[in-house]
Amino acid sequence: MSKKLILVTNDDGIGAPGILFLSHIAKQFGQVCVVAPDKPQSGMGHAITINATLRAHKSKLHHADFEYACSGTPVDCVKFAINKILPRKPDLVLSGINHGSNLSINVIYSGTMSAAIEGAMEGIPSIGFSLCNYSIEADFTQGEKFIKEIIQKLLTHKPEETTCLNVNIPNLKADEIRGVKVCRGAKSNWVEEFDERKDPYGVPYYWLTGNLVNFEKNHPETDLHLNEQGYVTVVPVGFDMTKHNQIPALANLF
């Protein structure tokens, strides 16, 4: 069997501790290409750069087989790697490890998960990893065992359909994590506020703040609940956004 080719990216930037740790793990499974933003790109969702040029510079931070810091978004990085850098499509796309949760509705906004989804759209099995700890000093080693297991299983047991997994690791010590649970994302939404302030000239400006509200609190089959219970949650994510069950009724309406 030829050596596996693994693309690693993120949204926190090429020098973030999470991606440095993830690329280190990836090297244990094959040849590694790192293409990641040259600066933080959190919350970019599936944005792509169409109104500016993209720049990419070789990097040596990861000691990878291929390595570039890209001026674009996480999705730009995946597109650039597949279409410009790599000699062939990778066998796996890994995104993360994100500093902070990407549970439930956060998958919509997440640059980490959008990079993984872009990989899946290209027909490549993809995984987005997040650690539920926002600290720059977060200990990523606590999830190492589970990250390796999930990567190994996706490489070894390829499903019939292209798979994209949203993996969230609880902020616990390794021996406190209870295991892995495959589940669905909880129904939730952000209740947001715009904190208004004034600059030195008296002109108002705004900071977006908010709290995530779980509409299925304590539901035993959801990622928010299981993660709170100490499990690594694995949610299969798709990119077909059609609500197929509404088509017959809407067809009659119109």
Q: Residue 93 is part of a domain; what is its CATH number?
A: 3.40.1210.10
The answer, yes or no, to whether residue 1 has pLDDT greater than 60, is: no
User: What's the one-letter identity of residue 37?
Assistant: P
Of 37, 137, 46, 155, nearest to 96 by C-alpha is 37
Q: What is the mean pLDDT of residues 1-16?
A: 91
In a domain, residue 237? The reply is yes
Mean pLDDT confidence for 221-228: 96
Helix, strand, coil % over all residues of the chain, rounded to 5: 30, 30, 40
Residue 208 lies in a domain: no
For 74, the domain range is 5-185+218-253
**136 or 114, greater pLDDT:** 114
**Quick one: pLDDT at residue 83?**
96
Please write the tens of the pLDDT for every residue from 142-178: 999 999 999 999 999 877 788 999 999 999 999 999 9
Structural domain contains residue 202: no
Q: Is residue 114 part of a domain?
A: yes
Question: Taking all residues of the chain, what is their mean pLDDT, rounded to a whole number?
Answer: 95
Count up the domains in the chain and report the number: 1
Looking at residue 217, its pLDDT comes to 87
Burial class of 61 by CB neighbour count within 10 A (0 to 12, 13 to 18, 19+): middle
- 199 domain-assigned: no
State the Cα–Cα distance between residues 105 and 234, nearest whole angstrom: 14
For residues 244 and 40, give the distance between their C-alpha atoms in angstroms, rounded to a whole number.
Answer: 36
Looking from the CA of 229 toward its CB, the CA atoms found within 13 Å total 16
The answer to whether residue 107 is domain-embedded is yes
Is 212 domain-assigned?
no
Quote the pTM value: 0.94
Is the model's pLDDT at 39 over the cut of 60?
A: yes
